[in-house]
Structure 1
Amino acid sequence: MTYENITHLHRRRFLALSVSAAATPFMPRSGWAFGSETHSTMVGDIELTVISDGHLTIPSAVLAPNAPKEEFEAFMTGLMGSVPETVQPETNHALLRVGGETILIDNGSGKKFQPTAGKLLENLSINGIDPASINKVVFTHAHPDHVWGTLLEDGSLALPNATYYVGETEFAFWTDPETEGMMPDDFKPFAQGARRDLLAVQDRVQLVKEGDGIAAGVSVLDTPGHTPGHISVLVDGGDGLIITGDAMASEFLSVQHPDWAFGFDSIPDMAIASRKALLDRVATDGHRVLGYHFAYPGIGNIEKASEGYRFTAS
């Protein structure tokens, strides 16, 4: 895992945005403190609530660095009227209530990544959800916006009573002391932060793989490529739901052009294969998807189109 596919995409520009998010014309909806706009629905007998951690700001070139330049610019212009310098993807966390259990998918950025993110605990509180009531956390992968919320500023656990479910490959990769040396200098903090947070909960970690159960009706799907051990979450019941993590980074580019690698896909060919398989599966079986970076609440259906696939919010 080297992030070589974004070496030419202004790494320092990305990290500068991590310190101070810039104004941008790309605003999928007004306002970013989403606590008062909580979305809840049922997936069979399982209650799903989508809680926001805020939003990120990234260079638009990171969305599809390997796409043909003219095609990418035409796509973005058709979608937004222009090609903005930056975009602001949202961060949608699934909270599942299964019987007497409360399960959170990823725990956000905390206050360590970008100033417009790290709002998960605040929005949980607004919705009357005590962090101490969350007894299971599933990490789709260990990028900053998914795990850096593990520890509070005083070093204590933000979710003190949780067991943490992590893909076997993901845990092994990020906790390996040699991983940091594989990263470009500007991305070594990714490895440092992932190792810090995963080791902080290692005595509470349950390592999982394809098919393993998290709770009744909730299980693991292997969707590697975005990171070496990236997983998604299958929720059975009703029409079903797959919580995709970053296997699909955008409801537009990832769905309509699944062969365009996302700039943070660490193993691009593997990520593309996982994305195509996931798209084909949900288009065939009718499961809804919940995309972490889709426009809030990130839930919808995917169907096959003349070229690629099409996402419809639901």
Structure 2
Amino acid sequence: MTLSRRTFMAGAAAAPLAGALPRLALAEMTIGEATLTTVSDGNLVLPGGFVFDTMPQDELPALLQEFGLSRDRVTPECNLALYRDGTHTVLFDVGSGPDFMPSAGKIVDSLDAAGVAPEDVTHVLFTHAHPDHIWGLLDDFDEPLFYEATCLMGRAEWDYWWNPETVDTIGEARAAFAVGAKRRMEAIEDSVEFFDDGDEVLPGIAAVATHGHTPGHMAFELRGGSDAALVVGDAIGNHHAAFRKPHWESGADHDKQSAIAVRQMLLDRLASEQMPLVGFHLPQGGMGRVERDGDAYRFVGG
């Protein structure tokens, strides 16, 4: 297995909240005869409390200092996985699109840097339906961006966001998430295909249930010959607390206890097997490995 990194800088001016030029970072590896690349959708700009409010406040300052983080604001990368095997061009999630926040929604430029046009994508596989993962289904004109692609989503995830009661039970702060997800899902409802835990979604790509961050969150295990990698979506949502304190609750997770159990299971497996992973919000293009560090873990990019 080979792994390389290329970085592209967009020429446009920085988004008002981003604080820097959007990065079209690409990390790449081979899996058998296929290529797995990460393509950037930009970054999010979130209040720190979205992640940190549920964590032990007396222990949090040491973690923030270790990673040079602000308690007030986090700016995680958004890294989509792109898989090409010569027959299929598969995009895992579709990014934020034009309507979520100005620092994100850069996927078209990033795909172009990787030599891929939206119409080249044959399949879109969703980890889950949060705004930064599904709102990019529609372009500036509210038309499907990946109009040649077959869209696939885990059955439990679809059922949760399609349920009309979700908008009233998800909480006022996230009601827009439900409205936005439903609108995008309506655009593909006549053609979407569903899968369940353990299904081989496409040749060499198997679904792995990682519920917790959302009720039906899915990861994907990719295999080719002796090579393998795991696309984890937001099941491992950052490079700091998720690795150093995987037992801490994250404010970003829907079912916090389920998310903790999934996170600990994935970190243990990835460290034991030394299987590469792609994390949507991990740094350096999102591709790397997990290493044990005492009774915790650390992310090693590249």
TM-score between the two structures when normalised by the length of structure 1: 0.87
- The aligned counterpart of 1:301 is 289
Maintained 8 Å contact 2:153/2:195: yes
- 1:260 is aligned to 248
Q: Partner of 1:204: helix, strand, or coil?
A: coil
State the alpha-carbon separation in 2 of the partners of residues 285 and 39 from structure 1. 21
**Residue identity in the other structure for 2:246:** P
Tell me by how many angstroms 1:282 deviates.
Answer: 1.1
Rounded to whole Å, the distance in 1 between the matches of 2:144 and 2:55 is 40
Amino acid paired to 1:107: V
Residue of 173, 192, 197 corresponding to 1:205: 192
**Which residue in 1 is equivalent to 2:108?**
121
Structure 2 counterpart of 1:113, one-letter code: F
Partner of 1:251, secondary structure, is coil
Superposition deviation, residue 20 in structure 1: 6.0
1:213-232 pair list within 5 angstroms: 213-232=200-219
Unaligned runs of 5+ in 2: 1-14
Structure-2 residue corresponding to 1:21: 17
How far apart are 1:153 and its partner, in Å?
2.6
Q: 1:258 touches 1:276 (CA, 8 Å); kept in 2?
A: yes
Shift of 1:109: 0.5
Shift of 1:84: 4.3
Q: Which residue of 1 aligns with 2:220?
A: 233
Q: Which amino acid aligns with 1:201?
A: I
How far 1:93 moved relative to its partner? 0.6
Q: Give the match for residue 180 of structure 2.
A: 193
Count of aligned pairs between the two proteins: 287
Per the TM alignment, residue 22 of structure 1 is displaced from its structure 2 partner at its CA by 6.4
Alignment RMSD (CA, Å) = 1.7
Distance verdict in 2 for CA 1:202–1:44, change over 3 Å: same
The residue type equivalent to 1:132 in the other structure is E
Listed one character per residue, the Cα deviations across residues 60-86 of structure 1 (whole Å, up to 9, x for unaligned) are 232232221121111111221x63421
When structure 1 is superposed on structure 2, of 265-274 and 254-263 the one drifting more is 254-263
Report deviation, 1:263: 1.4
Q: Aligned partners of 1:83, 1:181: CA distance in 2, in Å? A: 32
| 3-state SS of 2:278 partner | strand
Task: Return closer, same or farther for 1:311/1:22 CA change in 2, 3 Å cut-off.
Answer: closer
Q: Deviations over 1:123-171 (max 9, x none)?
A: 2123321111101001100000000011123221100011111111100
**8 Å Cα contact 1:51-1:94 kept in structure 2:** yes
Q: Deviations over 1:82-124 (max 9, x none)?
A: 6342111000011000231100000000011010100101221
Alignment of 1:145-184 (within 5 A): 145-184=132-171
* AA aligned opposite 2:21: G
Give me the identity figure in percent: 34
C-alpha distance after superposition, 1:186-245 (max 9, x if no partner): 321100011111121112211111111122211110000000000011111344111110
Q: Residue 21 of structure 2 is aligned with which of 12, 31, 38?
A: 31
For residues 107 and 293 of structure 1, the distance between their equivalents in structure 2, rounded to whole angstroms, comes to 14
Give the corresponding residue for 1:247: 235
CA distance in 2, matches of 1:305, 1:22: 32
SS at match of 1:148: helix
8 A Cα contact 2:18 2:43, kept in partner: no
1:253: Cα distance to partner?
1.3
State the match for 2:124 in structure 1: 137
Matched, 1:58 2:46: yes
- Residue 70 of structure 1 aligns to a residue in which SS? coil
- Counterpart of 2:87 in structure 1 is 100
2:22 match: secondary structure: coil
8 Å Cα contact 2:38-2:287 kept in structure 1: no
What is the aligned counterpart of 2:55 among 67, 88, 91? Answer: 67
- Contact 2:35 2:83 (C-alpha < 8 Å) held by counterparts: yes
Please give the alpha-carbon distance, in whole angstroms, between the structure 2 residues aligned to 1:292 and 1:33. 14
Opposite residue 108 of structure 2, the aligned amino acid is L
SS of 1:73's equivalent in the other structure is helix
